[in-house]
Structure 1
Amino acid sequence: MGDLLINLLASVIAGAAVWLAQFAIRRRRLERERAFFGLTAGATSLLVASRHASSPREESIHRRDVAALVELATIVRECGARADLVGGGQPVHELGRVAEFCVGGPGANPRAGTHLRAVLHGLSYTVYEWPAHGDGAKLAFSVGGQEYVHTPETGYAVLARFWGPADGRPVLYLGGLTAGGNLATARYLANHHRELFRRFGADRPFCLVLRIREPAAYGTDLTEIVADVSDVAFTAPPAPEGLQE
């Protein structure tokens, strides 16, 4: 009987130790996740939605942007925070008041355009028509002297984290060339934020170019980092010689 009680007690102690270790690991992961996104328990965060580019309704959102917002709202909920959804053209808090997730490029999200002018000086988006013999519009962005052009076989998006001049809470910017690019970026962020934390910590700004390969066939499955442009994205490119003082 004594041996049985000893073995039972040892099992209880071992089980408690395993549970405590797993609890500590989960807690540490949660704290790192909160630190990476600038979220705290019970705090409010902002989801800034992109308008549907081809819809005449100002409040219309593309279904893939809706899916991207769901991915981000899930992150916020996992961190114990709350998410408020607003349109890119609506008045919102100043930078740093709350953590912000801004979805979509400046063509459909005025808030994104403001971020590019104020912080992401080295990043610019272009939408222009193909030559007369072509069909549709060319979608591209440029950063660090490199242009990234959307094609049927390859999509591109920007994933950036930065702070305003007064620090505070960060902005996570997800700027795809299409709604599908926005969704791919949101899913990449949800799946790889632990790796990004190990790389950039909780307080380093970054700007990454993501490539989405064969989106028509594989959706968002083949999304990868193609360039780290953190060194140039936050710096305005030099003015042409004729415009320099």
Structure 2
Amino acid sequence: MNDDVRNIVLGLVATGISASLGWLARTYLWRRKLRRKQAFFGLPENSESLLVVNRDPATAEPAVHRFDVFALLELSALIKDCGANLQMVTQDATHQGFGERTEFCVGGPASNRRMLAHMAAMLPGIRVNIDPEPGPDRGAFQIGGERYRMEPGFTEYVLLARLSTGGQTRPVFLFCGQRAITNQAATRYLARNHERLHRKHGNNSFVILLKVVNSQAYGPDLVELVADVTRAAQTPLPKPEPAQP
């Protein structure tokens, strides 16, 4: 074998080794990223998850608002990315506890009784005005001592929460918006920012308040983080003082 042939062979071998090492490194990084995502969502491969669907409060018949359908599609993609399975149930057909499998619950307490139960059990510091009568406080959030009113189409709020009782239990994700479009905004925010949320909160519980800006023009895409309200949400609100006779 002359020098030219030997150099060609050595070059091919070096190229093959470099390509193999690059492929192994990319595979390792991809698997590590996937494991972190699975841990954050509580969705190991082939695990089961639950999607709880609300109803459209604007209709008399059982129906799901189209923006909530879009939110469910966003969540379905996240679940499939983790290699997990999903079961979709309506808010009035869920008669089970939480923690055995990851749950994604979509819709405010006025349209989702499962959300109402979760908030009463785990978020005693939040009160949502579910009065159907028109008024400035319709759909408003009270979080601790702060009140957040919506201006439909201009300024609307949504709560995004990851709640867990600790140990080996699976988390519950809540998407509690003042309007259906804000539910979709929260699911999209989670899909885009789950890595940052994982870095900040790990696998611990958190509750954040998001503001959806000018949804009539920008849809669910323009979202601002208002505050981390975890502590206020988990601290019971003071009981109202009895009316004076």
Same fold (TM over 0.5): yes
- Paired residues in the alignment total 237
Structure with more strand by fraction: 1
- Cα distance 1:94–1:168, how it changes in 2: closer, same or farther (>3 A)? same
Q: Secondary structure at the match of 2:169?
A: strand
Given the alignment, which residue of 117, 120, 124 partners 1:121?
124
Moved beyond 6 Å, runs of 4+: none
* Per-residue deviation, residues 112-136 of structure 1 (Å, max 9, x unmatched): 00001111111111134345xx8xx
How far apart, CA to CA, are the structure 2 residues paired with 1:93 and 1:127? 24
Q: Is the 8 A contact 2:94 2:114 kept in 1?
A: no
Matched, 1:201 2:205: no
> Partner amino acid for 2:126?
L
How far apart, CA to CA, are the structure 2 residues paired with 1:40 and 1:5? 44
Q: Is the 8 A contact 1:96 1:166 kept in 2?
A: no
Given the alignment, which residue of 26, 30, 33 partners 1:29?
33
How far apart, CA to CA, are the structure 1 residues paired with 2:82 and 2:221? 25
CA RMSD of aligned residues (A): 1.8
> Partner amino acid for 1:44?
E
The alignment-based identity, stated in percent, is 38
Q: Is the 8 A contact 2:109 2:130 kept in 1?
A: no
Counterpart for residue 222 of structure 2: 222
TM-score (norm 2): 0.92
TM-score (norm 1): 0.92
Q: Secondary structure at the match of 1:175?
A: strand
> Partner amino acid for 1:116?
M
Q: Is the 8 A contact 2:53 2:90 kept in 1?
A: yes
Deviation at 1:78, TM superposition (A): 0.4
* Per-residue deviation, residues 1-34 of structure 1 (Å, max 9, x unmatched): 1111111111111111111111111111110111
Task: Point out the structure with max Rg over C-alpha.
Answer: 2
How far apart, CA to CA, are the structure 1 residues paired with 2:92 and 2:134? 28
How far apart, CA to CA, are the structure 1 residues paired with 2:231 and 2:168? 19
Gaps of 5+ in 1: none
Matched, 1:63 2:63: no
Q: Is the 8 A contact 1:140 1:147 kept in 2?
A: yes
Counterpart for residue 139 of structure 1: 139
How far apart, CA to CA, are the structure 2 residues paired with 1:50 and 1:158? 15
* Per-residue deviation, residues 133-191 of structure 1 (Å, max 9, x unmatched): x8xx8321111211111113111100001124876111000101111000000000111
* Per-residue deviation, residues 90-115 of structure 1 (Å, max 9, x unmatched): 13431101100000110000000000
How far apart, CA to CA, are the structure 1 residues paired with 2:52 and 2:239? 31
Counterpart for residue 15 of structure 2: 11
Counterpart for residue 178 of structure 2: 177
Counterpart for residue 58 of structure 2: 54
